[in-house]
A and B are shown apart, each in its own frame.
Chain A
Amino acid sequence: MKTDLQQALLKYYGYEQFRTGQLEILESVMQNRHTLGVLPTGTGKSVCYQLPAFMRSGQVIVVSPLLSLMEDQVKQLRAKGFKRVAALNSFLNYEDKQQVTRNLASYDLLYVSPEMLQNDYLISRLMQLKIQLFVVDEAHCISQWGKEFRTDYLRLAEVIRTLGSPPVLALTGTATPEVQTDIQHLLGDLEMEKHIYPMDRPNIAYFVQEVQDQQEKNETMLALLRKMQAPTIIYFSSRNMAESVAALIRINMPDMACAYYHGGMENEDRILIQQQFLAGQLQIICCTSAFGMGVDKEDVRLIIHYHLPNDKESFIQEVGRAGRDGKESVSVVLYSPGDWQIPVHLIEQDLPEQSSIQQLMRHLYQRVQAGMTDLPAYELIVQHIPIGETQWRFLLYQMEKHDIVKGNQLQYNAQTWKDFLEQIENLVGERKKHKLVQLQRMKEWIYTDTCRRRILFAHFQRTVRPASGRCCDNCGDTLKDWETVPVSAQHDAAGWREQLRFLLQQ
């Protein structure tokens, strides 16, 4: 089987070699075993379900919460000439949705957003297919101890059963042992073959630099960019900051092409920026966490954290976008003592207050009494109750877990509602504590004086491989002797005449 798989890899992707873990997961999948794969970002998780779709008959269904990533993958596959692929999600208009749903059998690979699986008609259509593999991408979303949770992931176990329990492949980039157990349990206590791969990357060196204020942060960042002269991603916690620092870099370093990227931009523009970065027209991207998923650029050399994420999982994932070509790459965190207020504030904002929970439950109760058992949309709720969208998502997740909400219907039972109200304060407290612990671990990592590599991965794996080059500042490494390898200058036409000639090869 190994040679079949290798031949297919060459045929469909043009690669000779599998990356870490791909082959092992594929072998398990091809033998129709339920499989849990934890593969660090950048190792090409999608190969694990795309190859079976190319090679075997029957459909591969991929559930993914990342709509834009889904769109990207479909586009990339189509661009490669693989046309029997479609995505069903809320981006599609009604007619396109109908068109895809009616012709499900004509696709080999079908990406579906979890909320689409709430649709009974779609389920009944899916039941008529011969599903060879049911993929749960970003499987950590099912667990409340994962980076983010999704209510609609809770229902996947039921969907899998309804579809006749096809082989399941659960994939994620990050999962602590705790989350792994949760995934297995919440997907219906499946017996799964586990393939867990270490998240540490020997070719990435870690540096942390304390600065006093924003001005010093900017100066340090600019000096670093000048020194490295390499493809760079800079992460921010706010869209505005990403935009304004991008402008600052453009002014100070006109010969390093720089742009910003965040979730507030039009989809069309986001794709353009992503592609410019891939094509080497851009050297530096200033972005929020929205950037990076599915961006398979091999030669990113430097990841700067202008702001820190709230947990190590996100940090590891973001840093993991550097050095996919295996060459030495660098992570630099710039922080000033005041930076810790932002994440604490964000965590508090994400969780609902007891008084709004009571208001909400009273409102829902009144709806049920009036015979309206449909779960109201967030936009409706927010007109009556001051509650953020993340807070609403948290409550929804808890209500589904407590059988108060089932399939977008409210289910009233005096006892369960009473229990829920009594427990919810605890649940909020637990969640907050969990988040603060995550933040605390991030903080400890910043202030540690032992090897950063060891501390960073401590909660995820038992051993850490030694660095292949520089390790970290605490191990005495510096960037002083970093040898700049200037990237080849991109074609930049002198004016529109030359540009037009170049485009049309005249």
Chain B
Amino acid sequence: MLLASIILHAVQPIRNERSTASIYHLLQGKRSAQTLQDAHMYGLTNLFGIYPKLSRDLFDKLAADLLENKIQVNKTPIPYFNGMAYQSQTDAFLYRLLLLLQMLSNQAHGEKRYIPVTDQGQVQYWVKQLYRQELTQLGNWRSSLYEELYGLLENLPEEQAGLFVDRISGYQHIGLTAAQLAVKYDLQEIDVPLYQTSTIHYFLNQVSANKALFPYLGTLIEQPKQQSNTITSTAHKTRMMLERGLTLDQIAAARGLSENTIKDHIVEMTWLEGRRLASRFIGEADAAVIMDCAEKTDTNKLKHIHAALNGKYNYFQIRMALALRNEQEVEA
């Protein structure tokens, strides 16, 4: 069971410090400061947002059963994921690819009557544009996409490649549903979307690393918007006000939020964007003391660090220091 194995894998670093709900938010890709921090703090960024449609009820039940050892799980190796990097592009790339393949396959037989595999207007528009622009080149598209996909799929485990190809709809052939794929490959239905996502992450990774090798698949990648796409928009507003020189309590008052919320934003942007504004809230020497303590006591739990340092630093300062430590690791 892949989902079960992923949950068990994620539980280890989090240990007893955070609730299992935080793993749900992580997999589901909740864009909150806390979830983004968890991902970074516990080294789980690759799993961020890999299962947007995960049902909370199913997750809760499975997580409870696992942690109470009610079910025995055959550990499944976790395939490639890079959620933090690709989570926002996965869906667009997948559906563009599926609709493009359906169009090319039908077009090869002169078949114009088929029901598109996705209702998403933007995806349909994108494929339509491509169809118009490349009308004379569709044969090339077919052969080149075939080559590129073949090469990528060859490097995946047989089953995972099969799972991907069986989902494709084309000329007089309709792709399988998740339930049907689960039966065919002897998987749990809940695991099927995870393998699909892993495949797309792998494609995105290979294609963006070797643009020259994958010129056709490369055009399917939606260019990420230039602004930082990890910081939440509310934290972004706080940052702009900080940059204008407003103090914590001024920002809280102006935005009608509590000071603690503003502090959350500051911790979040420190995690994700480094020390730029951090020095206003914690000195380098103090940060070093706290990091040192976290290191020695081998914990990320604020309460433990707070106690170990005899209450000298408040929780906000400790969180800032831990955020800075993460940034050092990234630089190193």
Question: Using a CB–CB distance below 8 Å, which chain A residues touch chain B?
Answer: 75-76, 79-81, 96, 250, 259, 268-269, 271-273, 275-276, 279, 281, 491, 495-497, 499-506
Contacts and interface: CB of A to CB of B under 8 A. Distances in A.
A367 to B, nearest CB: 32
B146 A269 contact: no
Contact of B146 (A80, A96, A495, A501): A501
A171 B313 CA distance: 77
Contact of B104 (A271, A273, A501, A504): A504
B132 interface: no
Contacts of B150: 497, 500
Contact of B165 (A275, A276, A279, A496): A496
Contacts of A259: 177, 179-180
Contacts of A501: 146
Contacts of B171: 503
Contacts of A276: 174, 176
A279 B177 contact: no
B168 interface: yes
Given A269-B179, A272-B175, A281-B173, A500 B115 contact: no
A281 B121 CA distance: 28
Nearest to B121: A96
18 contacts: A75-B116, A79-B115, A250-B183, A275-B115, A279-B172, A281-B174, A491-B173, A495-B158, A496-B161, A496-B165, A499-B166, A500-B149, A500-B153, A503-B101, A503-B105, A503-B168, A505-B142, A506-B142
Nearest to A79: B113
A275 B117 CA distance: 11
A497 B147 CA distance: 11
A499 B101 CA distance: 12
Given A273-B177, A503-B105, A505-B105, A495 B162 contact: yes
Interface string B115-154: 1101001000000000000000000001101100110010
A275 to B, nearest CB: 4
B178 A506 contact: no
A501 B118 CA distance: 23
Contacts of B149: 500
Contacts of A495: 158, 162
Looking at A80, A272, A495, A504, the one whose CB has the most chain B CB atoms below 10 A away is A504
A184 to B, nearest CB: 37
Contacts of A499: 165-166, 168
Interface size of B as a range? 35 or more
A275 B177 CA distance: 11
B175 A79 contact: no
A279 B174 contact: yes
A279 B173 contact: yes
Contact of B105 (A76, A281, A504): A504
Given A79-B114, A271-B115, A496-B165, A502 B173 contact: yes
Contacts of A500: 146, 149-150, 153, 165, 168
Contacts of B180: 259
Nearest to B154: A497
B108 interface: yes
Given A279-B172, A504-B170, 18 more contacts: A75-B115, A79-B114, A81-B112, A271-B115, A272-B176, A273-B177, A276-B176, A279-B173, A491-B172, A495-B162, A496-B166, A500-B149, A501-B146, A502-B173, A503-B173, A504-B101, A504-B108, A504-B146
B59 interface: no
Given A500-B165, A504-B142, A269 B177 contact: yes
B316 interface: no
A69 to B, nearest CB: 14
B77 to A, nearest CB: 20
A504 B169 CA distance: 11
B252 to A, nearest CB: 33
Nearest to A500: B165
Residue among A80, A268, A275, A500 with most chain B CB within 10 A: A500
B190 to A, nearest CB: 14
B164 interface: yes
B93 to A, nearest CB: 18
A413 B234 CA distance: 51
A496 B173 contact: no
A305 to B, nearest CB: 24
Contacts of A250: 183
A496 B164 contact: yes
Nearest to B118: A268
B104 to A, nearest CB: 6
